[in-house]
Amino acid sequence: MQKYIQEFEQIKNLIQRSQNIAIISHKGPDGDTIGSNLALKNALSSMGKNATSFAHDPIPLHSIFLKGADEFRTEFNPQEFDMVIAVDCGASYMMKYEFTHPYLINIDHHPSNDFFGLINVVDPQMAATVAIIYFLLEYLGGQITPEIATCLMNGLYSDTGSFRHSNTNSLTLKIASNLVAKGADYNRIVKNQFHSNRVEQLKLWGRVLSRARLNDKAAAVSAVTEKDFDELNANAEDLSGVIDYLNTIPESKFCVLLAEDGNGNIKGSFRTQDEKIDLTQIAGLFGGGGHKKAAGFTIPGKLEQEVVWKIKK
């Protein structure tokens, strides 16, 4: 896109001068950060570059079919690379790697982004970071193969909630249409994201939904503890998607799902359909961030239940 031309040209020049390139996804990766990462990796590899994908945490099961998903590394040494590209990381700490590098590129769509890169392409108007990557790859002139198109579509599908969220606009759908035309395996994405639920996951969802309550702030609240995960043989990844059901309660202004992570922390996730509410402001009270209608935070603590779930001080 025209508004990124200056940054894209700078990135292009850096890529041309670099051979070893690291691409880093954010902690607790989702479909957007993984799709962005692998689309870039596959494109750069086709240009003859040594591109390596990094993620501190495991890849979500719904994205493991993407080309290159089995090649992610966890141990990162910045000295091995000529340049580093962070994708979909709303802040530097989201990479979960503490390092400095003279050629760090930051590509993201979170409004809370703190512009931590030498070059920053940050556009909160984009539905997903993969949308920016799509335009970058077009600018670089490489071929968007069916495998790359599938990576990009995976991120777009994930961050728009299968094109149900309000961030789905004409540009989003135009990009999606172009990706399908380029061979994106849309049916496989749908199958992996919506038709691959484990029994343990569905039981966990049942527990979350059975605990849903409206509090005095008209917020729909639910929670899960370490004990729940252990009893149901479930994990944190199994929570993916259930908050969208909490967000369907018409009487609620917003919803929040609290979950213990097994390491002495509580992860909070927010969603809303109310145009007047900015969830980044609420999440920011806990040191978190995200988007206006989808945000989150992580803080130390345990959960306890009285009439409604709350964070124990």
As given in the structure block, the two tokens for residue 12 are 């292009």
pLDDT at residue number 142:
86
Q: pTM for the complete prediction?
A: 0.87
Cα–Cα distance, 228 to 223 (Å, whole number): 10
List, for residues 25-75, the tens digit of each pLDDT value. 999 899 999 999 999 999 999 999 999 999 999 999 899 999 999 999 999
Full domain range(s) for residue 55: 2-194
- pLDDT average, residue stretch 20-24: 99
Residue 16 shares a structural domain with residue 159: yes
Residue 59 shares a structural domain with residue 150: yes
Residue whose entry in the numeric block shows the structure tokens 């945000």: 295
Using DSSP, state whether 93 is helix, strand or coil. helix
Residue 125 shares a structural domain with residue 172: yes
Residue 114: name the closest of 84, 91, 132, 98 by CA. Answer: 91
Q: How far is CA 301 from CA 50, 83, 130, 140, 162, in A?
A: 42, 37, 34, 46, 33
Residue 226 shares a structural domain with residue 188: no
- CA-CA-CA-CA dihedral for 232, 61, 20, 97, to nearest 10: -30
Per-residue pLDDT at 306 exceeds 70: no
As given in the structure block, the two tokens for residue 290 are 């995200």
- pLDDT average, residue stretch 172-188: 97
Residue 188 shares a structural domain with residue 208: no
Residue 51 shares a structural domain with residue 100: yes
Cα–Cα distance, 202 to 197 (Å, whole number): 7
CATH number for position 142: 3.90.1640.10
CATH number for position 215: 3.10.310.30
- pLDDT average, residue stretch 261-276: 92
Angle ∠(278,280,282) on CA atoms, nearest 5:
85
Residue 34: name the closest of 165, 178, 153 by CA. Answer: 153
Q: How many domains does the chain have?
A: 2
Residue 32 shares a structural domain with residue 172: yes
